[in-house]
Copies of this chain bind each other. A is one copy, B any other.
Amino acid sequence: MSKLLVVGTVAFDAIETPFGKTDKILGGSGTFVGLAAAHFGVQTGIVSVVGGDFPQSYLSMMNDKGINTDGVEVIQDGKTFFWSGKYHNDMNSRDTLITELNVLADFTPVVPETFRDAAIVVLGNLHPLTQSSVLDQLSAQPKLVILDTMNFWMDAALEDLHKVLKRVDVITINDEEARQLSGEYSLVNAAKKIHLMGPKFVVIKKGEHGALLFNDGKMFYAPALPLAEVFDPTGAGDTFAGGFSGYIAKSEDISFESMKNAVIYGSNLASFCVEKFGTERMEALQSDEVHERLKVFKELTQFDIKLT
């Protein structure tokens, strides 16, 4: 079992969907990645920053799940990063209503001594320079570096993004972002171009249409679980990345065959995330539920045509 280091946001979200709305609740990419990875029982550490307004109870909840939060800096006279968004009826698009960077504006991540030798590193959605600075602090080359990013950084810091991509093994990115980064409409061609930027493995997340894993001409497809209701998609992509990296950290196997299982686990955990607002479902999730849903994923995808 490998040590897993996650850098990402720990934040407040306020969410409105056709099913209702929330006040400020727990959110952030680092939070969702960590909660998903925690299901694999691996030693997980989060590097992030929060303000004095961040409840200790949230950190305690994470600690209770085995997540090390020594790397979450608390700036007592600062305010926690806050995002507010409203989803449209189809749940596939959303409007950002508020983004208050607050303490995130001057965030300089410090990796705790105990996680500088982490074998698996997840660079959650943050400025590419922040992602790079985490890699700079490691005492040894990690076994696998996984990066998540978004269109915002392609617009605002493309050169820095290209630099950090050269140091990354796996990129997880959504379909529109893959098209923007590569300039290719076809996801097959997009993955080829992104390979050339650095990552040997490209995972393209297609939301309700599942996720594609590409590596050196090989492809694998993990469907999203078709659901009667998607209650709140917030954090689903980060939960996918957390399930992916948690599985890899547990298995210590970075082969393509192992990554197939990892994207299935990513999709499995993400299918729970969207069932309730924010982190609610992920906080309550039990390992037997994940196990039962794995059976559903098998029934959904496995067939028996004999090849002669």
Contacts and interface: CB of A to CB of B under 8 A. Distances in A.
A180 interface: no
A158 interface: no
Interface in A191-240: 206, 209-210, 212, 218-221, 223, 226-230
A261 B304 CA distance: 7
A259 B187 CA distance: 28
A299 interface: yes
B223 A223 contact: yes
Given A264-B303, A291-B307, A305-B264, A90 B223 contact: no
Query: What is the copy number of this chain in the assembly?
Result: 2
Interface in A39-65: none
A300 B221 contact: yes
A89 B186 CA distance: 11
Contacts of A98: none
* Interface secondary structure of A, over-half rule: mixed
A155 interface: no
Contacts of A229: 186
Given A89-B185, A185-B89, A185-B90, A303 B261 contact: yes
A219 to B, nearest CB: 6
B219 A299 contact: yes
B226 A219 contact: yes
A294 interface: yes
A281 B291 CA distance: 43
A93 interface: no
Nearest to A303: B260
Interface string A275-301: 000000000000000010011001111
A114 to B, nearest CB: 31
A304 B202 CA distance: 20
8 contacts: A188-B227, A188-B228, A210-B223, A219-B300, A220-B303, A221-B301, A261-B303, A264-B303
Which A-B residue pairs are the 10 nearest by beta carbons?
Answer: A209-B209, A260-B303, A188-B228, A221-B223, A261-B305, A188-B226, A221-B300, A301-B301, A189-B228, A186-B228
Given A220-B299, A261-B303, 8 more contacts: A186-B228, A219-B226, A221-B300, A257-B304, A265-B305, A298-B307, A301-B303, A302-B302
